[in-house]
C-alpha cells in the first residue's frame, strides 16, 4: 500500500499522535479502499488517546457525537476523524453496571429510538455504553484495546488497521481474506450485530454495491431475518445514510440490492407500495432510471445535490399524488404542496427528509412550467433565479426519459450559453429573483459592492 495515496493531513495527525506517545492507526474505509486501489472518500484514525487527549494536541479539533464521541480535526479542505479504540459491545458490561463506573459525560442522553423508551430510565450519570431491551446500542463510549476496537467494527473488510510507523497492515479478524474474496461479512454473530445497530444493514448493501462485492451467506441470512429493525434506527441518521446510498456513484446498483433484500420497503414504505402497483398498465421503472442518471452525472464529475436526487427519485410519485389532490378539487400549486407535505410526513418515521429539502423539491417540480415561457424577460428572470439549474436538471432528465420536449431543452441550453453569469449587468450571485434592469435605483445598489467587494453597505 502506497503511503503517497494517504492524505497529507491524515499522515500529519498520525505522526503528531505518535510523537505524543500514543498509538495511532489509519482504519476503516480508508485502509479498505487503499488496499483495493480505490480512492478513499475520507480518512479515519483510531488511537489510544481519549477524545480529550486529542483535543489537547490539536488546536483545530472539535469533539462531536454523543452516541459515539469522536474528535474531528479540521483542515481547510478536509476533516480527519479520530476515534479512541473502543471495546466490543458484546463484551461490555450491561447498562446497569456500566452506569456505576462511568466518568461523567457532560451532555444529556440521546433521544431514545422508538420502541426503546422503557429501557432507558433517566439516570444522574449517563453511561458510556447503553443498549435497549431489544439489544440496540444507544451509546458506545467504552474504550478498549486495538483488538477490541477491530472486533466492534461492522464488517471484516472495514476492520483493518494500517500502522504508519512500520507500514504494516494489522488484520485481527480476517479482513484481508474477505477483501480478496470480495465478501461483506459482519463481524461476530450477525443477528446480534445487526440488531445492535440496524443501520449496519443499510451499510452492508452500500458496500456490496459500491465495491462490487457479495454479502457473505450468514450475514445475508441475518439481514433478511431482521431487516424490519431498520425501522428502529434514527430517521435523521437514515437520511444521511440514504444520501450515501445514492450519491456515491453506484446508486442504481444499490437500489436494486435494497429492493432485493426488502430494505427499500422499510426505508420508503409508501413509495415501495406504489412501485408494486402499475400506472396505466406500465410498471414503475423511473427510480432505477433516475439513479442511473445520477450515477452518470457523478461519474462525469458533476455534483448532484440532495434536492435534485430526491426530485428525480420522487417526481413521478409526487406528480401522481398531486394529480389525486387535483382530482379532489385542489388547484395545481396547493395540490403539489399537499403531495410534498404528505410524502414528508409519511417518511418522517423512517428516512427523515428535511423540510427545506421538501420545499426545494416542490420548487423544482413547480418551476417546470416556467421553461415553457420563452418570451420577453421571462427566460432571463428564470435563469437568474435560485434553483434554476436544479429545475433544469429535472427537465433534462424527464425529457430524456419521455423523449419529449427535446427542442425545449436545446433552446434552454443555447440560452444558458449565451447568457453567462454577469453578462446582463447582474453579478453571478445576483439571484434576487428580480429582473436586473427594472429600476435604476436598484441597479445602483447592486453596483456598490462590486467596486468595493469587501465592504458591506448598510444603506
**137-140 and 129-131: which strand pairing?**
antiparallel
- Which position among 130, 159, 263, 361 is part of the footprint of ligand ATP (CB under 6 A)? 159
Indicate which residue of 33, 44, 149, 197 is catalytic. Answer: 44
Where helices occur in 74-198 by DSSP H, the ranges are 95-100, 146-151, 175-181, 190-196
Cα distances (angstroms) measured from residue 206 to each of 149, 256, 257, 307: 22, 11, 9, 21
- Residues 154/193, Cβ–Cβ less than 8 Å: yes
Minimum gap (Å) between residue 233 Cβ and ligand ATP: 10
Site size toward Mg ion (CB under 5 A) is: 2
Contacts of 307 (CB under 8 A, 6+ apart): 357, 360, 361, 364, 390
Question: Per rule CB under 5 A, is residue 424 in the interface with Mg ion?
Answer: no
Minimum distance from residue 40 beta carbon to ligand ATP (Å): 7
Active site residue 44: yes
**69, 153, 253, 350: residue in contact with ligand ATP (rule CB under 6 A):** 153
User: Among 199, 204, 232, 344, which residue interacts with ligand ATP (rule: CB under 6 A)?
Assistant: 199
Going from the C-alpha of 175 to that of each of 86, 151, 166, 188, 353, the distances in angstroms are: 18, 11, 19, 13, 35
Q: Does 28 bind ligand ATP (CB under 6 A)?
A: yes
Residue from 12, 16, 36, 42 in contact with Mg ion (CB under 5 A)? 42
Q: Which member of 140, 149, 154, 178 is catalytic? A: 154
Given the C-alpha cell 439481514, which residue does it identify? 223
In the complex with Mg ion, the residue whose CB is nearer, 42 or 424, is 42
d(CA 218, CA 205): 14
Helix (H) or strand (E) holding 200: helix 199-211
Establish if 149 lies at the interface with ligand ATP (CB under 6 A).
no
Q: 44-63: which residues touch Mg ion (CB under 5 A)?
A: none
Number of residues that bind ligand ATP (CB under 6 A): 12
Closest residue by beta carbon to Mg ion: 29
What is the distance in angstroms between the CA of the first residue and the CA of the last residue of the chain? 59
Instruction: Work out whether 147 is an interface residue with ligand ATP (CB under 6 A).
Output: no
Cell of 79: 476533516
The item of Mg ion, ligand ATP, none sharing an interface with residue 424, based on CB under 5 to 8 Å by kind, is: none
Site string for ligand ATP, 95-134 (x = CB under 6 A): ----------------------------------------
Interface with ligand ATP includes 295 (CB under 6 A)?
no
Contact between 80 and ligand ATP by CB under 6 A: the answer reads no
In the DSSP assignment, the letter for residue 228 is: G
Least Å distance, CB 31 to Mg ion, is: 10
**C-alpha grid cell, residue 48:** 489510544
Residue nearer to ligand ATP on the CB measure, 131 or 286: 131
Cell for 344? Answer: 414528508
131 φ, ψ (degrees, to nearest 5): -125, 150
| Residue in this structure with the C-alpha cell 443499510, named with its chain if needed | 202
Relative orientation angle of helices 269-276 and 306-327, to the nearest 10 degrees: 60
Binder of residue 153, out of ligand ATP, Mg ion, none (CB less than 5 to 8 A by kind) = ligand ATP
Residue list 39-68, contact with ligand ATP (CB under 6 A): 41-42, 44
Give the shortest CB-444-to-Mg ion separation in angstroms. Answer: 50
Q: Say what angle helices 388-402 and 355-366 make with each other, to 10 degrees.
A: 60
- Residue showing the smallest CB distance to ligand ATP in the complex: 29
Instruction: Give the integer Cα–Cα distance in Å for 441 and 206.
Output: 54
Q: Which residue ranges make up the site for ligand ATP (CB under 6 A)? A: 28-29, 41-42, 44, 153-154, 158-159, 197, 199-200
Query: Annotated catalytic sites, by residue?
Result: 42, 44, 154
Interacting residues toward Mg ion by CB under 5 A: 29, 42
Amino acid at each position: 500500500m502506497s503511503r503517497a495515496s494517504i492524505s497529507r493531513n491524515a499522515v500529519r495527525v498520525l505522526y503528531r499522535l505518535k510523537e505524543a506517545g500514543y498509538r495511532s492507526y489509519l482504519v476503516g474505509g480508508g485502509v479498505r479502499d487503499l488496499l483495493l486501489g480505490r480512492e478513499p472518500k475520507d480518512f479515519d484514525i483510531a488511537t489510544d488517546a481519549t477524545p480529550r487527549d486529542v483535543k489537547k494536541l490539536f488546536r483545530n479539533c472539535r469533539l462531536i457525537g454523543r452516541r459515539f464521541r469522536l474528535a474531528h480535526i479540521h483542515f481547510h479542505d478536509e476533516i480527519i476523524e479520530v476515534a479512541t479504540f473502543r471495546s466490543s459491545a458484546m463484551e461490555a458490561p450491561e447498562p446497569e453496571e456500566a452506569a456505576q463506573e462511568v466518568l461523567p459525560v457532560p451532555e444529556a442522553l440521546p433521544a431514545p429510538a422508538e420502541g426503546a423508551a422503557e429501557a432507558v430510565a433517566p439516570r444522574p450519570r449517563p453511561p458510556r455504553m447503553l443498549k435497549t431491551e431489544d439489544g440496540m446500542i444507544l451509546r458506545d463510549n467504552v474504550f478498549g484495546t486495538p483488538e477490541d476496537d477491530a472486533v466492534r467494527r461492522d464488517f471484516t473488510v472495514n476492520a483493518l488497521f494500517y500502522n504508519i510507523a512500520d507500514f504494516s497492515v494489522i488484520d485481527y479478524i480476517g479482513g484481508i481474506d474477505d477483501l480478496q474474496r470480495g465478501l461483506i461479512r459482519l463481524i461476530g454473530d450477525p443477528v446480534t450485530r445487526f440488531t445492535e445497530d440496524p443501520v449496519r444493514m443499510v451499510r452492508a448493501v452500500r458496500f456490496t454495491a459500491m465495491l462490487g462485492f457479495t454479502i457473505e451467506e450468514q450475514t445475508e441470512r441475518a439481514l433478511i431475518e431482521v431487516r424490519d429493525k431498520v425501522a428502529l434506527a434514527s430517521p435523521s441518521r437514515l437520511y444521511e445514510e440514504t444520501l450515501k446510498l445514492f450519491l456515491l456513484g453506484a446508486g442504481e446498483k444499490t437500489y436494486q440490492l435494497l429492493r432485493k433484500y426488502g430494505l427499500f420497503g422499510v426505508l420508503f414504505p409508501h413509495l415501495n407500495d406504489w412501485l408494486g402497483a402499475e400506472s396505466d398498465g406500465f410498471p414503475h421503472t423511473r427510480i432505477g432510471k433516475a439513479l442511473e442518471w445520477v450515477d452518470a452525472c457523478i461519474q462525469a464529475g458533476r455534483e448532484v445535490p440532495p434536492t435534485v436526487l430526491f426530485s428525480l427519485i420522487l417526481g413521478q410519485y409526487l406528480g401522481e399524488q398531486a394529480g389525486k389532490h387535483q382530482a379532489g378539487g385542489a388547484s395545481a400549486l396547493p395540490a403539489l404542496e399537499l403531495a410534498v407535505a404528505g410524502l414528508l410526513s409519511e417518511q418522517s418515521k423512517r428516512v427523515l427528509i428535511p423540510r427545506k429539502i421538501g420545499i426545494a423539491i416542490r420548487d423544482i417540480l413547480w418551476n417546470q412550467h416556467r421553461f415553457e415561457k420563452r418570451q420577453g424577460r421571462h427566460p432571463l428572470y428564470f435563469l437568474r433565479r435560485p434553483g434554476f439549474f436544479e429545475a433544469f436538471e429535472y427537465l433534462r432528465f424527464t425529457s430524456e426519459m419521455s423523449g419529449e420536449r427535446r427542442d425545449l431543452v436545446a433552446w434552454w441550453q443555447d440560452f444558458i450559453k449565451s447568457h453567462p453569469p454577469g453578462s446582463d449587468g447582474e453579478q453571478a450571485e445576483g439571484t434576487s429573483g428580480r429582473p436586473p434592469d427594472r429600476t435604476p435605483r436598484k441597479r445602483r445598489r447592486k453596483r456598490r459592492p462590486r467596486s468595493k467587494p469587501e465592504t458591506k453597505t448598510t444603506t
